[in-house]
Chain A
Amino acid sequence: MSAQDLVARAQKWSKEQPWRLYASQVSILVRNELRRNLFTRRRIGIYLLAFIPALIILTHAIFDTGRAQIEEDTQVLAGIIQLYYFRLGIFFACMAIFTWLFRGEMVEKTLHYQFLVPVRREVLVVGKFLAGVVVAVALFETAVVACFFFMYARFGSEGKSYIFDGPGLGQLESYLLATALACIGYGAVFLALSLLFKNPIVPGVVIMGWETIAPIFPSWAQRLSVTFYLKPLCPVTLPVTGPLAIFTVVAEPVSAWIAVLGLLSLTIAILVLSCFLIHRMEITYTTE
C-alpha cells in the first residue's frame, strides 16, 4: 500500500468519526470525574502534599524575622520546586490521582457502568486522563503560585520589583509550565501502570527509582524519564553537591521547546499504550 493510499484511508476514517460526539462525551466524563474525585475526603493527603511547602514558607515569612536575601530565597524556592514538587509531591499525587481513575472504579465495583455505554474505550481513557490532569494541574499550579507569593511577599517593594521588573515573573511562568508538564507526564505514566498492574504501587516505586537514576544512563535512555524533560525548563540552576547532585545533573541538556515537545510526545505514546491496554480490560471484580 502506497503512502497516498494510507493518507486517503486516514482521511476517510477521520471523516467518518463523530468527533463532535466524542468531544461531548469527553466533556461529560471530565465533569463526572471531577465531581466524583476533586473535593472528597480521600483527597486530603494530596492537598497536603501540594500545600505543605507553601504553609512552611508562610510560617517562615511570619515568624522568621531574620534578614533574608532574595537570591538566597530564590535558590530555596528552586530547591523546593525541583527537589520536592517534581521529585516527590507531584509524583506521589499523580500516583494517587491517576491510578485511582480506573483502579478505583474497579475497587468500588462501578467500572462496568463506564463499559456499558456507547463510548469508545479510547474516549474513556482520554476523558479520565484529562480529568486527572485538570485536578493535578489546578492543585499544583495553585500550590506553586502560593509558594512563590509567600516567598517574595516578605520582601515588600524589593520583592515586587524582583517579580515585575526582574526575572521573577519569567521564573514563575517557567515553573508553572514545568509543573503542568510534570502532571501530564507522570499522569500518563500512572494511568498506564494502573491498566497494566492490579497493584500499581510497586511499579510506581520502580518508576521513582528509574527517575532518580536515569541521569547516569546514556542519553537515549534518559529520554524515557519525565524529569529529563523538566530540568531544561527550570529557570534556576541548583548548586547541589554530593549525593543529591544526582537529582540536578543534566548530562545532555536540550532546549526548552524540545523538552516540551519531547514530554508531550512521550505522553501521547503512553496514552496510545493505555488505549491498547483498556481494550484488554475485563470486569472481574471478584479477582480484585
Chain B
Amino acid sequence: MTPDPRLIVFENVSKFYGETLGVNKVSFSLGPGITSLVGPNGSGKTTLMNLLTGLIRPSQGAIYVLGLTPQQPMEFFRQVGYCTQFDSFPPGTKGHDFIYWPLRLHGFAHDQAAKLTNEALERAGMTQVARRKVAGYSKGMRQRIRLAQAIAHHPSVLVLDEPLNGLDPMARSESIALFEAIAKQGMHVIISSHILEEVDRISDRVVLMSSGYVVAEGQIKEVRREVRDHPMQILVRCSNAARLAAAAFELDHVVEAKILTDGHGVLVRTRDADQFYLLLNKIVSGGLVEVDAVAPADDDVNSIYQYLIGSDGGPA
C-alpha cells in the first residue's frame, strides 16, 4: 500500500529496549494541525517522537511521514524539524552557528542560510544573543535556540518535545502563538507537553498515552464522548437553579445535579448529554428557567487525562 503523502502514519509500531517496553502496537494517522502527545513520565511520548524522526528504529511496524521514511534522509529531513528534549549542545557553539551550519548541510548557499538563520532567530526572539556562546544561555534561551533550529528550514512537520519547558510566561505565550501560526499554514505540529491547560488551548487533537500504549486519540471532544465510564459534566448558569435541578433529576441518565454555591446555576453530571440538552431546550422554551450560559465542564484534556489515565501528569 502506498503511504499517504499528506499524513503521518504509524502502522502497528512497537519498540522494545531489550525487554523493556517503549511503545506497543501503536497505529494512528495524523493530518495537518497541532497534535498533542499527552501522558505521564515513561508513557512513551519521547519514544514515539524519536521513532517518528528516525533517532530510533521500530522493533516492528512502519512509520511514514508525508510518504517518506528516515531511511531517505535527504528528502525526509527537509520536511521534518525536531526540537528534542536533550538539553545539550556541541561544545563552544554560538547561537548563530548552531542554526547556520545545519542549514549549510541542507545545501543552502551562504546568503540563503544566513537569511534563514536570521529569520529563525527573530521568530524565536533570539537575535540579540545570537553571537553569544550557547553555554552561557539560560534554560529558556537554550530551549528557544533549539526551537529556532528546528523551524529554520521551514519544515512541513514540526516535532516538539516539551517545547514549553523552562520558558517564562511571556516566552511561552510567544511560542504558542508561533506554533499556532505554523499550524495555520497547513503544517503538522506534534507537541508533547505536560502543561495540560496549554495543550488544551492549542491542540486540534490529542494522543493520550500510558505505559507505552495509546489510550485514546482524536479531537478532544470526540475523545471525551468516547469516555463513557465518566458522566459528562455540564455547567448551566441560570435564574432558577432549584427548578432546573429538580427537572434534571427526573431523567434516568442524570446522575448528579448540584446547585452552585452562589445559587445561580447547576452542575449536571449526565450519561447522555444530548438528552439533557433536549430537556434544557424544553425548560427554556417553557419559560420556567432563564439560562445565561451553558458549557461542558470536563471536555478538556485535563479531565480526559484524569479519567483515562487517573493522574494529573506532573512534569515529564
Contact = CB atoms under 8 A, between A and B. Distances in A.
Interface stretch (A113-121, A146-154, A208-216): A113-121
Contact of B88 (A21, A32, A108, A280): A108
A199 interface: no
A282 B17 CA distance: 11
Nearest to A120: B73
Contacts of A285: 86
A67 interface: no
Nearest to B51: A282
B310 interface: no
A56 interface: no
Contacts of A69: none
Interface string B215-241: 000000000000000000000000000
A35 B91 CA distance: 10
A36 interface: yes
A28 B107 CA distance: 10
Interface in B194-221: none
B67 to A, nearest CB: 16
Interface residues of A, number: 28
Interface string A146-188: 0000000000000000000000000000000000000000000
Given A115-B54, A118-B78, A282-B56, A108 B91 contact: yes
Contacts of B90: 32, 36, 108, 110, 113
B89 interface: yes
Contact of B56 (A28, A40, A284): A284
A21 B104 CA distance: 10
Contacts of B102: 113, 116-117
Interface in A273-288: 280, 282-285, 287
Contacts of A284: 17, 56
A108 B90 CA distance: 8
Nearest to B92: A36
B105 interface: yes
Interface of A: 18, 21, 24-25, 28-29, 32, 35-36, 40, 108-110, 112-113, 115-121, 280, 282-285, 287
Interface of B: 17, 50, 53-57, 73-78, 80, 82, 84, 86, 88-92, 101-102, 104-107
Given A21-B107, A113-B102, 7 more contacts: A24-B107, A109-B88, A117-B77, A118-B75, A118-B77, A121-B73, A282-B55
12 contacts: A18-B74, A32-B101, A35-B92, A115-B54, A116-B82, A116-B84, A118-B74, A118-B105, A119-B74, A119-B105, A283-B50, A283-B56
